[in-house]
């Protein structure tokens, strides 16, 4: 029995649809497995923030979100050794049994520009207090505005709120298979110089290179699928330019981004803590950081000075970043250093949580 042309085309379309659906299910399952392994260590959970998924807000729960770059994310430490996790632990100790959660919305390399987009994207968490803790990634000022909102680079995340990790994992796995520990070759492929020119060179065999090629192909497939959902890209809006802010160049955009996040929060009846990070070591960094923080401190006093739900936490001298006992690179803190910052932030969070 021969099929008519219409039936043949219908059958073919169904077969293709089932194949694509099966492939998507396989990729989703693989992505979920990776998320499960990563969310309690170095990676992000399926919703794009660090640590376990917090779930639905409980009755009477105090929910805090902390935003910033790698110092909030906890670069170099486990999720439960980051500032947000340690802040949550300290707040729970004094809560008298009240449920409290502090959600880590930090993302490596993001600056203040990303505050409002991230607050918008995670509004479903129904948070009560917002902690804004970023300045390092904005030291370039108005001449080099950090406009990264990196979760939104994923079309799947923008459409569904699900943050895929499989493409990143596959890319890293393929590089590891292809180059082994030949950092020079890997960095040359990325257009950068290796920081370790004396690295031992491992030359992968044919089987390993073939495996790398296969993983590359799967990785390209997942990125292509992501691209199918692509929509017109638009930059997230920050605060409008307002002379009333009183901030001077080169920190106008930074001040406006902080002000936009404060306004966003106040419009929703939330408490806001703006934290100043410890002074960076080096020749010019302390000067730039001090100027930036003086500018934003003065802006907060001018614009939000009468607002009791907004507090500024000056942690610029809470730690000495020249001390190797608290930091491994002069910026990112080890667990004891993060605990010091969490302890310093705690009274400020408590203050705005009760207003």
What is the model's pLDDT at position 321?
93
What is the model's pLDDT at position 178?
55
340 and 249 in a common domain: yes
The whole-model pTM stands at 0.75
Q: What does each C-alpha distance from 332 to 38, 76, 202 come to in angstroms? A: 20, 7, 31
206 and 93 in a common domain: no
Residue 251: which CATH number? 3.40.50.1110
CA distance 186 to 173: 12
CA gyration radius, the chain: 23
What is the model's pLDDT at position 160?
86
The answer to whether position 301 is within a domain reads yes
Beta bridge partners of 310: 272
What is the model's pLDDT at position 202?
38
Residue ranges for the chain with pLDDT beneath 70: 1-42, 165-244, 355
Write out the two tokens for 155: 């079309």
The answer to whether position 216 is within a domain reads yes
193 and 287 in a common domain: no
142 and 254 in a common domain: yes
Three-state secondary-structure class, residue 145: coil
DSSP 63: E
What is the model's pLDDT at position 191?
47
Task: Provide the residue range defining the domain that includes 90.
Answer: 62-149+237-353
The answer to whether position 190 is within a domain reads yes
Residue with tokens 């569904």: 160
What is the model's pLDDT at position 261?
98
Write out the two tokens for 67: 């935003």
Order of strands across the sheet with 310-314?
Answer: 100-104, 62-68, 129-133, 271-276, 310-314
What is the model's pLDDT at position 285?
82
What is the model's pLDDT at position 172?
53
Please say which residue of 199, 217, 235 terminates a domain.
Answer: 235
Q: Which contiguous run of DSSP H or E holds residue 170?
A: helix 166-179
Query: Where would I find the H helices in 230-280?
Result: 252-266
Please say which residue of 184, 212, 235 terminates a domain.
Answer: 235
216 and 191 in a common domain: yes
Give me the number of domains the chain comprises. 2
137 and 68 in a common domain: yes
What is the model's pLDDT at position 183?
45
Q: Cα 97 vs. chain centroid, distance in angstroms? A: 30
What is the model's pLDDT at position 12?
63
Exposed (0-12), middle (13-18) or buried (19+): which is 153, by Cβ within 10 Å?
Answer: exposed
207 and 80 in a common domain: no
347 and 257 in a common domain: yes
Please say which residue of 182, 205, 235 terminates a domain.
Answer: 235
């Amino acid at each position: 029995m021969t099929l008519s042309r219409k039936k043949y085309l219908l059958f073919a379309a169904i077969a293709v649809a089932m194949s694509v659906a099966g492939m998507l299910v396989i990729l989703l399952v693989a992505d979920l497995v990776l998320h499960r392994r990563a969310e309690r260590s170095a990676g992000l959970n399926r919703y794009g923030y660090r640590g376990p998924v917090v779930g639905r807000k409980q009755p009477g729960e105090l929910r805090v979100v902390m935003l910033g770059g790698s110092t909030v994310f906890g670069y170099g430490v486990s999720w439960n050794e980051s500032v947000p996790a340690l802040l949550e632990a300290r707040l729970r100790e004094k809560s008298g049994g009240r449920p409290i959660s502090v959600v880590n919305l930090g993302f490596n390399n993001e600056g203040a520009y990303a505050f409002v987009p991230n607050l918008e994207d995670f509004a479903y968490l129904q948070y009560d207090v917002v902690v804004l803790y970023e300045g390092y990634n904005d030291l370039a000022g108005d001449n080099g505005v950090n406009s990264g909102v990196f979760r939104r680079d994923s079309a799947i995340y923008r459409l569904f709120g699900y943050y895929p990790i499989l493409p990143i994992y596959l890319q890293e796995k393929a590089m590891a298979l292809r180059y082994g520990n030949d950092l020079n070759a890997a960095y040359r492929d990325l257009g950068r110089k290796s920081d370790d020119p004396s690295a031992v060179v491992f030359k992968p065999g044919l089987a390993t290179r073939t495996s790398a090629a296969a993983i590359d192909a799967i990785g390209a497939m997942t990125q292509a699928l992501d691209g199918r959902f692509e929509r017109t890209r638009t930059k997230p809006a920050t605060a409008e330019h307002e002379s009333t802010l009183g901030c001077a160049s080169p920190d106008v955009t930074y001040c406006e981004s902080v002000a936009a996040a404060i306004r966003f929060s106040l419009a929703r009846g939330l408490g806001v803590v703006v934290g100043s990070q410890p002074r960076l070591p080096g020749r010019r960094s302390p000067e730039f950081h001090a100027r930036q923080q003086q500018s934003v401190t003065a802006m907060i006093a001018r614009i939000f000075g009468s607002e009791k739900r907004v507090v500024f936490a000056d942690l610029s001298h809470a730690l000495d970043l020249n001390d190797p006992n608290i930091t491994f690179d002069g910026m990112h803190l080890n667990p004891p250093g993060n605990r010091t910052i969490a302890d310093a932030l705690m009274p400020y969070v408590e203050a705005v949580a009760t207003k």
